């Protein structure tokens, strides 16, 4: 077993970095490792137009401390009021590569999301004609549908009809969590890809309830049964080019997670590539990590692959119990995934 591995610099095709102090805290964690990050637009208020995405990108770059490999790519938030002109303006902005479809009410800051896909068909047709990518949070919002079934229902109710209606639309089914999600992506042809998070590869819903209720394992889509995790592991590590790295790292403060109504979101940017490396090692598939982390996403987005490399070292280290928010006076830190526990791999950076 080698003590180091080298791979082409990876990209994170799905991440939340928020704004202000939290942004300043989390962006350096991504910038230490990733080339491109695909920044989700669910701020309050959401990032809906090209000019706002430019300002937001500047804020992210300013927090990255001049890392010269780091390139935030932006996604715009679709609402019922998004116009075809908004899409055409986005298409002229080289830093915008997609539009994010949040079904209204599906998750954190999705209240301004789309109430019905049928209402935005002209906008989706324009997205398809530009070659921009539709990034989908794939869960139905009907409160009568069991929370564990919302992704599978979304495939039948929304994704399959949408693909029939606009087959040329290029879709990333974000953070898939189910066997049905894997099967849909495999059968949907070259215009559909999917991101897979570290938490859905590492954990099943039992982990959310082991010895008590564990709010730091709560995210949306929610962790599923073990059998779904096995399908995701096979998809991520099996070499299929439709599946690629997207952490869905979603920082919330400790108090907003450890609450009577805790927020959805798992923070993983501090150890993202290391977590995926563990998964691939456990599956005896370290030789396939590079394609999943560094090639498949770039190829799907029709962007050049990165050319520089990163090195991972096999060494035990302990994840901090929490990360203090930069410039915050009160003690309300971000609790990362694996807080206080040990990791087997570590990215080698100039500091180490
Ligand atoms: O767990 C989640 N957190 N899922 C999402 O879709 C949004 C994200 C967030 O922004 O916190
Ligand atoms: Zn997300």
Name the residue at shortest CA distance from atom 10 of ligand 1.
108
Question: Once rounded to an integer, what is the mean pLDDT over residues 37-56?
Answer: 98
Mutate to test the pocket of ligand 1, among 264, 266, 267, 337 (most ligand atoms within 8 A of CB): 264
**Tokens read off for 234:** 């096979």
Mutate to test the pocket of ligand 1, among 140, 173, 248, 262 (most ligand atoms within 8 A of CB): 248
- Are 312 and 273 a contacting pair, CB within 8 Å? yes
Q: pLDDT tens across 94-151, in order?
A: 999 999 999 999 888 888 999 999 999 999 999 999 999 999 999 999 999 999 999 9
User: Which is the CATH superfamily of the domain at 9-306?
Assistant: Metal-dependent hydrolases (3.20.20.140)
Residues with CB under 6 A from ligand 1: 16, 42, 107-108, 137, 219-220, 250, 264-265
Q: Which residues make beta-bridge pairs with 310?
A: 7
Catalytic residue IDs: 248
pTM for the complete prediction? 0.98
Listing from the earlier edge strand, what are the strands of the sheet with 342-348?
4-8, 309-318, 342-348
Listing from the earlier edge strand, what are the strands of the sheet with 96-101?
12-15, 36-39, 71-77, 96-101, 133-136, 170-173, 192-196, 243-245
Q: Is the pLDDT of residue 246 over 80?
A: yes
Q: Give the distance from CA 30 to its chain's centroid.
A: 12
pLDDT band at 153 (very low <50, low <70, confident <90, very high): very high
Q: pLDDT tens across 52-105, in order?
A: 999 999 999 999 988 899 999 999 999 999 999 999 999 999 999 999 999 999
Q: pLDDT tens across 295-337, in order?
A: 999 999 999 999 999 999 999 999 999 999 999 988 999 999 9
Residue 352, pLDDT score: 38
């Amino acid at each position: 077993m080698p003590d180091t591995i080298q791979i082409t610099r990876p990209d994170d095709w799905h991440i939340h970095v928020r704004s202000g102090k939290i942004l300043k805290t989390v962006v350096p964690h991504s910038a230490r490792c990733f080339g491109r990050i695909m920044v989700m637009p669910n701020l309050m208020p959401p990032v809906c137009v090209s000019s706002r995405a430019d300002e937001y990108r500047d804020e992210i770059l300013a927090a990255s401390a001049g890392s010269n490999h780091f390139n935030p790519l932006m996604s715009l938030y679709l609402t019922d009021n998004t116009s075809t002109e908004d899409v055409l303006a986005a298409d002229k902005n080289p830093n915008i590569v997609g539009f994010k479809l949040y079904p209204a009410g599906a998750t954190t800051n999705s209240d301004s999301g789309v109430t019905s896909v049928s209402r935005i068909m002209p906008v989706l047709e324009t997205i398809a004609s530009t070659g921009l990518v539709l990034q989908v949070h794939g869960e139905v919002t009907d409160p009568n549908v069991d929370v564990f079934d919302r992704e599978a229902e979304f495939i039948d109710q929304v994704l399959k009809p949408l693909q029939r209606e606009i087959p040329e639309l290029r879709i990333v089914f974000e953070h898939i969590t189910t066997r049905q999600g894997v099967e849909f992506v495999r059968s949907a042809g070259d215009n559909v890809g999917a991101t897979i998070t570290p938490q859905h590869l590492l954990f099943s819903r039992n982990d959310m309830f082991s010895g008590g209720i564990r709010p730091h394992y709560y995210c949306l889509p929610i962790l599923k049964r073990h059998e779904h995790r096995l399908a995701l592991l096979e998809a991520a590590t099996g070499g299929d080019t439709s599946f690629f790295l997207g952490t869905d790292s979603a920082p919330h403060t400790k108090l907003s997670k450890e609450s009577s109504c805790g927020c959805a979101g798992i923070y993983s940017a501090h150890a993202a590539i290391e977590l995926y490396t563990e998964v691939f090692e456990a599956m005896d598939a370290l030789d396939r990590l590079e394609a999943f982390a560094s090639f498949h996403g770039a190829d799907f987005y029709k962007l050049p692959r990165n050319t520089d490399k990163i090195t991972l070292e096999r060494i035990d280290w302990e994840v901090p119990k929490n990360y203090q928010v930069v410039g915050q006076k009160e003690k309300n830190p971000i609790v990362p995934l694996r807080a206080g526990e040990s990791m087997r791999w570590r990215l080698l950076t100039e500091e180490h």
